[in-house]
Structure formats: C-alpha cells, structure tokens
Amino acid sequence: MTGLTRIHAVVTGRVQGVGFRWATLETAERLGLAGWVRNRADGSVELEAQGSPAALDQLRAFLAEGPSWARVDGVAVEERAVREGDAGFTVR
C-alpha cells in the first residue's frame, strides 16, 4: 500500500439535492479511488477517499468546484490513516 494517502473531507454549500454525491462517485471511480461519500444532517456532504496523492489532488480540485448545479462554500480536508485492503467507492 506504499504511496497511498487517505483523506476525510466535509463540503459545505448547496451540495445536497443537486447530485453532488453521484458526481463525486463518478469522479472517484474515474480516478481509481477507494472510499465513500454521504449526506450529513447539517446539509453538508462528507467523504473519505484513498488513493495516490495525485489522484486525491484531482479529487480536491473537483470538490472545490463541484458539479455545475452545486454551490461549494467550503471544503475542510484532513488526512486519515490508510485502510489496508480498501477497494471501490460507494455512496452511503
């Protein structure tokens, strides 16, 4: 698992009810990332993603913009411990 990084992110703004999770899933799958994304009760979207630093940088760029119908006000990202054997990306 050398070279992998894992992040936890919370995205705020108009990010629920606009397909944000599904666009995140599509982006993560295209980048070969493992992890999950879900809506939170406070209206934000939360996710964890694991993969190469370059792929995670591309995901961060997507999260900062979101799909065209969303409005991203902020993205809080922190690194997490890599989870051995994590594979696939899911919407929770």
21 is catalytic: yes
Largest CA distance in the chain: 37
Burial 41-66 (b: 16+ CB within 10 A, else e): eeebbbbbbbbeeebbebbeebbeeb
Q: Which of 6, 14, 21, 60 is flagged as catalytic?
A: 21
Q: Which of 14, 38, 39, 40 is flagged as catalytic?
A: 39
40 is catalytic: no
Active site residues: 21, 39
